[in-house]
A and B are shown apart, each in its own frame.
Chain A
């Protein structure tokens, strides 16, 4: 039986997912690093060097993105900096390591596991403590540079050739990096972190044999140590690392998290077979950074559907880019936390592709004002019901002038209609085809005002669009001439654009339903332009005909 959401904290939800237990919904962990700098309007350099900014930035992300878990900081250079690597700072990315002590004359014996007051270590630990107090219900992730990536920071790329030339040296270096990881893990746990994530992207560069030989011993030891402290552990990798997933699992982390370079179904199968939780792998650049809210939601849902309900943590593949639009991440949070939103986006995702869109450019030109309410189903969806009620209650105010109807997108024709009106959210009120209220139940006065505005606008349009044709039927006698003079004067005085035509042919007069004996007679023909250079849809023509 699933657990009601309101009784479960994010921290508990993460713990259950890590244990591959059933959860009320998929937990969501946005990897907010330097992106939080953008939320505060400071550079990545300013952000990652300020405890205050980190606390404020992460708190802002918590407020905006409703996460179940969040990292304290995402910066894989903190340990390297404390160990003597020089950093090159940038405005929108974490710093880069630009010198490697072991490639510049230092020997491993010169290096010591950093004290907790070295470099920026105290800064992130203090930030962690403060975030723990500020957000007791969220799972805090302490991110640690994985031993192989740290070894590469310290040694430089020589490490790859040393794996052949002097593997013992590489193993000694890995053992040192393991000690650094252990010290930092303990410190993050002491600061209140729930999850220790070892982030080791450089392992994507090596094959499984080298992984097992050089990385597995250190990783296994660190995960075991985290387990002894009753904390949770995660192994983050990004890049083309599919070949190492089984070996990563064999290190016995509680969770494996990957980016978009590795198929999620592959990771799911490998992890769940071993009772290991897994996470990922939303697309960072093409979707979260460059895509729309809908793209982000669809990507999140695709991940959740592939992953299934068990043991999965929804997360971006890696550190969220600095300039990622807030609205995209909020949209993801919506589909994670709101089942209605998820259902709507899922329906759109599956049906929209083959929905034959209608051309509704002329929609809304009927005499009456048409109010369309796009809903999931007002009987099943509470917000939909309230929106329909709001329209139903004001409709009598406009009896005979306004028509309203509900379109339930569970029916395909309604879905096509919704897509044709470019409606993206449910429930939505459209007035004469114009999206007017999106996911918001309007107050009565506001709804009445919106409908009245449309009625006024339509009147103005109609006056502008109408063109009359006035026919004066009859022979050449005086009465008919007098009628023509009066009509001329009236048109002149009103300044109207009316074409006047005299018709004296008896057959033509009869064709208007007037006998020649009934002349003089006047026939007013109203022309109303409904459509120009387009083929109107049947649905649209029906609206026009209803006004006759």
Chain B
């Protein structure tokens, strides 16, 4: 890479978020924003199956587009591709801003690590890390995907999108959960991925969380409960009420004395339906908890079993 000490580093904006969070829409808004008006902008899009921004949906404009074909999986073995694209961009002296879209499975720390390699020293300056959060689906994805949580933890700003699809109390709780994962990030509620005026200018980039992003968040836990025992209906719903704040989601079959029911809890709403036959005739449900431990959740539901009944 040709180094030029007099040259200003390319300003880098990271855009993360799970599939469906609204990254493409936000990207299109960003490109029309005042910060990028008249500037030379490059887009680095990391395709992984359908996980990345669909390059074809990005509005045509005056920018250079670099796509990484993540042939394997986004891990150490594809960093060479990312590095190659970054080196090309660094060598293109015309570029002022680079927007990097990371796939939903990308760990932000991997991108930051590549940008910090000595071979790219002085070429890039990360100005902001924006993470799109899907208000409707974040809890379900975060509970099962490490990268979703890691992306939130590394973000400078959390753009909570699709807020019109959830009610206000759900939104409040989501904001609480996000705050527990990353207290320093600015939170903004957005619709249609539209950024508030002058928002990018307010960002101050801080690379990385202060603790290991590999660790599973203490805040969100998942417990799978499977049992042949009969569950005490009253005790079960009492547990749901007692742990109303802690249980973000619950879904599955519960074998009560009067029969098997499909129970679902979404935020504070609980509903019962006919049993799901795919789950068999026994108790089999999954709980996503927050601010509690797996052990406490497991023990709370274990105490709902009727003694001596099978």
Contact = CB atoms under 8 A, between A and B. Distances in A.
Nearest to A281: B76
Nearest to B215: A243
Interface in A210-267: 210, 213, 238-240, 242-243, 259-261
B169 to A, nearest CB: 21
Contacts of A152: 49
A319 B69 contact: no
A156 B48 CA distance: 10
Interface stretch (A90-98, A342-350, A429-437, A471-479): A90-98
List the 5 shortest-distance A-B pairs measured between CB atoms, nearest first. A93-B71, A321-B80, A318-B77, A94-B71, A168-B278
Given A93-B78, A201-B73, A98 B222 contact: no
Nearest to B116: A286
B123 to A, nearest CB: 14
B18 A157 contact: yes
B71 A204 contact: no
Contacts of B145: 160, 205-206
B68 to A, nearest CB: 8
A506 B3 CA distance: 65
B75 to A, nearest CB: 4
Interface residues of B, number: 54
B213 A156 contact: no
B278 A240 contact: no
Contacts of A93: 69-72, 78, 80-81
Given A164-B251, A165-B251, A209 B224 contact: yes
A153 B114 CA distance: 26
B146 A206 contact: yes
A207 B50 contact: no
A259 B73 CA distance: 13
Interface in A429-475: none
B107 to A, nearest CB: 6
A322 B294 CA distance: 43
Interface in A260-314: 260-261, 283-286, 289-290
A501 interface: no
Contact of B141 (A96, A149, A161): A161
B49 A97 contact: yes
A205 B146 contact: yes
Given A44-B71, A157-B19, A209-B294, A204 B49 contact: no
A323 B79 CA distance: 12
A284 B80 contact: yes
Given A161-B141, A242-B214, A290-B119, A90 B71 contact: yes
Interface in B264-310: 276, 278-279, 284, 286, 288, 294
A202 B73 CA distance: 8
A239 B107 contact: yes
B47 interface: yes
Given A160-B145, A284-B80, A209 B71 contact: no
A317 B79 CA distance: 12
A215 B242 CA distance: 33
A50 interface: no
Contacts, number: 166
Contacts of B137: 161
Interface of B: 18-19, 47-51, 69-81, 83-84, 104-105, 107, 114, 117, 119, 137, 140-141, 143-147, 150, 213-216, 222-224, 249, 251-252, 276, 278-279, 284, 286, 288, 294
14 contacts: A34-B71, A95-B71, A99-B49, A103-B50, A160-B144, A167-B224, A204-B75, A204-B146, A259-B75, A260-B76, A285-B114, A290-B83, A318-B76, A321-B77
A260 B79 CA distance: 12
Interface string A127-163: 0000000000000000000000100110011001101
A326 to B, nearest CB: 15
Contact of A163 (B78, B107, B144): B144
A76 B286 contact: no
A243 B73 contact: no
A477 to B, nearest CB: 68
A316 to B, nearest CB: 9
A161 B144 CA distance: 8
A243 B49 contact: no
Contact of A96 (B47, B214, B249): B47
A169 interface: yes
A164 B77 contact: no
A239 to B, nearest CB: 4
A497 interface: no
B272 to A, nearest CB: 17
Given A153-B49, A156-B50, A285-B80, A88 B69 contact: yes
Contacts of A408: none
Contacts of A290: 83, 117, 119
Contacts of A259: 75-77
B80 A323 contact: yes
A284 B37 CA distance: 38
Contact of A92 (B81, B251, B278, B286): B81
B215 A261 contact: no
Contacts of A157: 18-19, 49-51, 104-105
A77 B288 CA distance: 32
A100 interface: yes
A166 interface: yes
Contact of B216 (A243, A285, A318): A243
Nearest to B253: A168
Contacts of B49: 96-100, 152-153, 156-157
A96 B147 CA distance: 20
Nearest to A200: B73
Nearest to B147: A205
Nearest to B286: A164
Given A209-B223, A286-B117, A323-B80, A238 B75 contact: yes
B278 A90 contact: no
A99 B284 CA distance: 32
Contact of B84 (A92, A103, A169, A243): A92
A239 B144 contact: no
Contacts of A164: 140, 143-144, 222, 249, 251, 286, 288
A547 B76 CA distance: 57
A34 B78 CA distance: 12
B140 A168 contact: no
Contacts of A205: 105, 144-147
A71 to B, nearest CB: 13
Given A160-B144, A243-B215, A284 B76 contact: yes
A156 B49 CA distance: 7
Given A156-B49, A156-B50, A240-B146, A94 B80 contact: no
Contacts of A103: 50
A213 B143 CA distance: 14
Nearest to A282: B76
A240 B74 CA distance: 11
B287 to A, nearest CB: 10
Nearest to B103: A157
B213 A96 contact: no
Nearest to B139: A164
Contacts of B213: 240
A96 B216 contact: no
A74 B119 CA distance: 27
Most buried by A among B49, B79, B276: B49
Nearest to A34: B71
B77 A238 contact: yes
A34 B77 CA distance: 11
B71 A207 contact: no
Contact of B72 (A243, A260, A283, A319): A319
